[in-house]
Amino acid sequence: MNITVIALFLAIVLLTLVITYWAAKNTKTTGDFYTAGGGLTGFQNGIAISGDYLSAASFLGIAGAIALNGFDGFFYSIGFLIAYLVVMFLVAEPLRNLGKYTLADMINARFDAKKVRGAAALSTITIVIFYMIAQLVGAGALIQLLFGIKYWIAVLIVGVMMTIYVLFGGMIATSWVQIVKAVLLMAGMIIMTFLVLWKFHFNIGEMFTSVKSATSHGAAYLKPGIQYKDGLGTISLMVALVLGTSGLPHILMRFFTVKDAKTARSSVITATWTIGIFYILTLFLGFGAAAFVGQTKILEANPGGNMAAPLLAEAIGGELLFAFISAVAFATILAVVAGLVLSGASAFAHDLYAQIIKKGKVTERQQMMAARNASLAVSVLSIILALGAQKLNVAFLVSLAFCIAASANLPVILYTVYWKRFNTAGAITAILAGLISALVLVALSPSVMSPVPGAALITGEPIFPWANPALISVPLGFLGGYIGTILSKESDPVRYAEVKVKANIGYNEQS
Amino acid sequence: MNGQNQKVDYVQVEQSEQFQQFMTKRKKFILPYTIFFLVFYFLLPICTSYTSFLNTPAIGDISWVWLFAFAQFVMTFVLSIVYVKKAGALDQEAELIIKNQIQKGGAA
């Protein structure tokens, strides 16, 4: 580890702590804690959404996937991007209009049923825990590589930092850490893209020609099919990518940090542009890494390709750029896990404790206490799980989280806003059908079962053929909601009239 | 905002001509565009999985599959601009419904 890396690393830690100190002074109510009091501007929130979305998995994972697998790596960039059109057109504004802190709040705008709230909280917590373990294990491995420290120390550093941000600074600190990181990350990406293009004499055609002979795949590198050979399996993955985003709790929570639907809309626009530009740049990073670092070196550093971006920084920009990109990657991990802690804590403290156990009869002080305790509990639990999961291959947990989000959360969101006949029973069956089918199918898939000992959790022939079952589990979520609804006689057109009006025109009695 | 003191009759608002018209306009742009971008998106993996015509070169070593992929980005940017325009145009109507109906308790 050299001096520059340590200095930049400490600078990031210091900067985020200053933000947290300032945020702590401004965090007075539960609303501040969960949603920054709804006080972010559309632009700020848009940048923060981009920050939440551009996790280490996006930044390092996609750059690596493109470097190693060419076009097939780019599938991720496209799926993650188009997902924002789903968010923009179908989810963002109704969600802002109906909800307060959590997804369960939004569904409960239509049904005052504890069971529905409980089911929504359950799927939120499941997604958060899986996503969190994946991020923390990835973070530990990455920081181990970048800074040469032990895995458990790396996990502890990330864990303690995220706990501090959330515990003291709540959503205000988390948002601003996210904004700072998103700006740094974009700056790093633009610098690297510029350097890559410079090496190719600003000629994109030359870049394509050059990578054609740069890898062991030869001309096939520029064609789809290196990694994804099974048609339905590929389409299934694309379903999870495009529909999962609009069900991810830490992304949904972001729409409650602005004051109204109009601001929510402008933040999705900012996010879409930022994320779109980012994903175009992943191509230059991936190709750059393939051409200037080389597959052998990328695979040597990390079999998943996660070191492609930092190694490219070293190859084209020397020690200083390597240090900068490493520090940015570290900040990325910190910011994303903090957002995850917060969305998990809101499901525990707001949905399960304040609304279900205490039936909404809690004082402001009790709510705040519960929010902080839940944050601490979620943090500690995920640190312990991450420490225990070091040896496991956890890459599938991210796609599992996307799959549950798409199968359990999206159907219930769409039905709540757009289907008149939908009822309490349907809401519960929609969530459970999506959640259970996603869990079971992933457990039987090649992600969990592999005939090669040690390659996955269970040794054996996979029973289900696709790594990501969204193509089956998302329709099952919708079907579950449909069957549950028609089997129950309950129907409340008066309440739906209210929800329909409020969701579409953005009228809120409390505001 | 007011409206806390009186009970709003949302059924009446929902059935009012003003709101019905508003919803028709909203559906008219949300539904077709959503279907369009989902079809455009899924055409990419369907074409790459079951056909190979996208592998023909378009510009030098850049084949059609890359141009199709870049078109996805262009579509996203264009649709985000369209969305802002269309949704923004409906904001005024939404405010009128709030002012004329909801704040009067739902009586049109």
Tens digit of pLDDT at every position of chain A (511 positions): 578 888 888 898 899 999 999 998 888 888 888 888 888 888 999 999 899 888 877 788 889 899 999 999 899 999 999 999 999 999 988 988 888 888 888 888 888 888 999 999 999 999 999 888 888 887 887 788 777 888 899 899 889 988 999 988 889 999 999 999 999 999 999 999 999 999 999 888 888 888 888 888 888 888 888 888 888 989 999 999 999 989 999 888 888 888 888 888 889 889 999 999 999 999 999 999 999 999 999 988 878 788 899 999 999 998 889 889 888 888 888 888 888 898 988 888 888 888 888 888 888 888 888 889 999 999 999 999 988 887 776 667 887 899 999 999 999 999 999 999 999 999 999 999 999 999 999 989 888 888 877 777 788 888 888 888 999 999 999 999 999 999 998 888 888 988 888 888 877 655 4
What's the confidence (pLDDT) of residue B1?
A: 41
Query: Model-level pTM?
Result: 0.90
Whether residue B45 and residue A234 make contact (CB cut-off 8 A), yes or no, is: yes
* Dist CA A334 CA A274 (whole Å): 20
- Looking at beta carbons, which pairs linking B27-31 to residues 24 or more positions away fall under 8 Å? B29/B82, B29/B86, B30/A89, B30/A90
Q: Where are the beta strands (DSSP E) in A318-467?
A: 449-450, 458-459
Q: Which residue from B minimizes the CA distance to A89? A: B30
Q: How many Å separate Cα A22 from the centre of its chain?
A: 26
* Dist CA A115 CA A388 (whole Å): 32
Selection from A155, A171, A315 nearest residue A255 by Cα: A171
- Rg of chain B over all Cα atoms, to the nearest angstrom: 22
- CATH code assigned at A329: 1.20.1730.10
Which string of b and e fits A3-18 if b means at least 16 CB within 10 Å?
A: ebbeebbeebbebbbe
* Dist CA A93 CA A42 (whole Å): 13
A274 by Cβ neighbours in 10 Å (0-12 / 13-18 / 19+) ranks as buried
Q: Which residues, 6+ apart, have CB-to-CB distance to A423 below 8 Å? A: A111, A484, A485, A488, A490, A491, A492
- Rg of chain A over all Cα atoms, to the nearest angstrom: 22
Is any Cβ of chain A less than 8 angstroms from the Cβ of B108? no
Q: Residue type for A298, please? A: I
Is A65 a member of any domain? Answer: yes
Boundaries of domain holding A19:
3-389
* Dist CA B49 CA A53 (whole Å): 28
* Dist CA A220 CA A206 (whole Å): 17
Angle at A75 between CA A72 and CA A79, to 5 degrees: 165
Sign of the dihedral defined by the CA atoms of residues A92, A98, A101, A105, in that order: negative
Selection from A437, A44, A55, A12 nearest residue A250 by Cα: A55
Q: How confident is the model at residue B2 (pLDDT cuts 50, 70, 90)?
A: very low
A-B contacts at Cβ under 8 angstroms: 141
Neighbours of A260 (CB within 10 A): 16
Q: In chain B, what residues touch A82 (CB-CB under 8 Å)?
A: 37, 41, 72, 76
What value of ipTM does the predicted structure carry? Answer: 0.89
Q: How far off is chain B from A185, nearest CA to CA, in Å?
A: 20
Which tokens sit at A171? 């959503």
* Dist CA A419 CA A404 (whole Å): 21
Classified as helix, coil or strand, B69 is helix
* Dist CA A144 CA A491 (whole Å): 55
Q: Where is A9: in which H helix or E strand?
A: helix A3-26
Q: What are phi and psi of A462, to 5 degrees?
A: -60, 135
What's the confidence (pLDDT) of residue A119?
A: 93
Q: Are strands A458-459 and A449-450 parallel, antiparallel or unpaired?
A: parallel
Is A427 a member of any domain? Answer: no
B-contacting residues in A 182-221 (Cβ below 8 Å): 204-205, 208-209, 212
Neighbours of B7 (CB within 10 A): 9
Q: How far off is chain B from A213, nearest CA to CA, in Å?
A: 11
**C-alpha distances in Å from residue A187, one per residue of A212, A281, A324, B63:** 28, 11, 10, 30
Which tokens sit at A446? 């090649």
A-contacting residues in B 3-22 (Cβ below 8 Å): 3-4, 8, 10-11, 13-15, 19, 22
Q: Which residue from A minimizes the CA distance to B80? A: A269
Length of chain B in residues, anyone? 108
Number of domains in chain A: 1
DSSP A90: I
Q: Residue type for A482, please? A: Y
Q: What are phi and psi of A421, to 5 degrees?
A: -75, -15
A-contacting residues in B 33-52 (Cβ below 8 Å): 33-34, 37-38, 41-42, 44-46, 48-50
Q: At what angle do helices A71-86 and B64-100 cross, to 10 degrees?
A: 10
Using CB atoms, pick whichever of B22, B61, B79 lies closest to residue A208.
Answer: B61
Is A164 a member of any domain? Answer: yes
Q: A29, A35 in Cβ contact below 8 A?
A: no
Q: Which residues, 6+ apart, have CB-to-CB distance to A308 below 8 Å? A: A60, A63, A64, A67, A68, A285, A286, A289, A293, A298
* Dist CA A444 CA A421 (whole Å): 34
Is any Cβ of chain A less than 8 angstroms from the Cβ of B80? yes
